[in-house]
Amino acid sequence: MKTLLAICLLLSLSVFGQNSSNTKNDKKSKLETITLAGGCYWCVEAVYENLIGVKSAISGYAGGKIPNPTYEAVSTGRTGYAESVQITYDKTVTNLDEIFKVFFTVHDPTTLNRQGADEGTQYRSAIFYKNEEQKKAAQNIINALNKAKIYNSPIVTTLEPLTQFYKAETYHQNYYENNKNQPYCEMVIQPKIKKFEKLFKSRLKRE
């Protein structure tokens, strides 16, 4: 993979030149949601909670068919569900372009059903779109990244229609904030957060 700075530069100069939402819709509602899977949901949630404009990042499950999945069931890799994060954001502060820019920067979209040591279909890279606008924006991003050969391997991120999102168990919510000293948080989540903070320092929430 090329440098993360190159990724950000490509995204800012290509398909991300325009805001994905339109003015008419903004007048109706300034809040929008997108559901993303990029490996362990603790990592994805922790990153987006620090992005300006994000109102909430909820860990949960998407992509499967059985109702009310549990963490134990999803962890088997046989339910079809992926550990996912449903992001609610203010379109007047951020947009789908930036949401995707962060997504393709903080995880590896070229490893099939795996992120680091986390392996299985529940850890797949996926974008769960709720309308054609989101699907088209996601496909444009993937096409641009592949064309520019930003990564050494083709992107395997799947585009899947969002049929249902189930919120994960309470102890999974805000996991990083509540468990910063645990080894997984220190070795896996913190490097992703530092990478995000370095490349998006002007877009961080201020305490």
Domains held by the chain: number: 1
Full domain range(s) for residue 63 = 4-11+29-200
What residues does 62 pair with on adjacent strands?
A: 82, 165
Q: Which of 8, 40, 43, 185 is catalytic?
A: 40
Structural domain contains residue 205: no
- Rg value, the chain, Cα: 16
Structural domain contains residue 16: no
CB-count exposure of residue 194 (10 Å: 0-12, 13-18, 19+): exposed
Handedness of CA 105, 113, 32, 23 (dihedral sign): positive
pLDDT of residue 10: 55
Structural domain contains residue 165: yes
Whether 8 sits among the annotated catalytic residues: the reply is no
Structural domain contains residue 17: no
Structural domain contains residue 142: yes
Q: Residue 12 and residue 18: Cα distance in Å, rounded?
A: 10
**54: domain CATH number?**
3.30.1060.10
DSSP label of 17: S
DSSP label of 120: S
Which structure tokens are listed for 192? 């992703």
Structural domain contains residue 125: yes
Structural domain contains residue 148: yes
pLDDT of residue 9: 54
Question: Residue-wise pLDDT tens for the chain (207 aa)?
Answer: 555 555 655 555 444 444 444 444 444 579 999 999 999 999 999 999 999 999 999 999 999 999 999 999 999 999 999 999 999 999 999 999 999 999 999 999 999 999 999 999 999 999 999 999 999 999 999 999 999 888 999 999 999 999 999 999 999 999 999 999 999 999 999 999 999 999 999 999 976
pTM: 0.89
Which structure tokens are listed for 104? 């393709």
Structural domain contains residue 129: yes
Contacts of 156 (CB under 8 A, 6+ apart): 109, 110, 111, 112, 124, 125
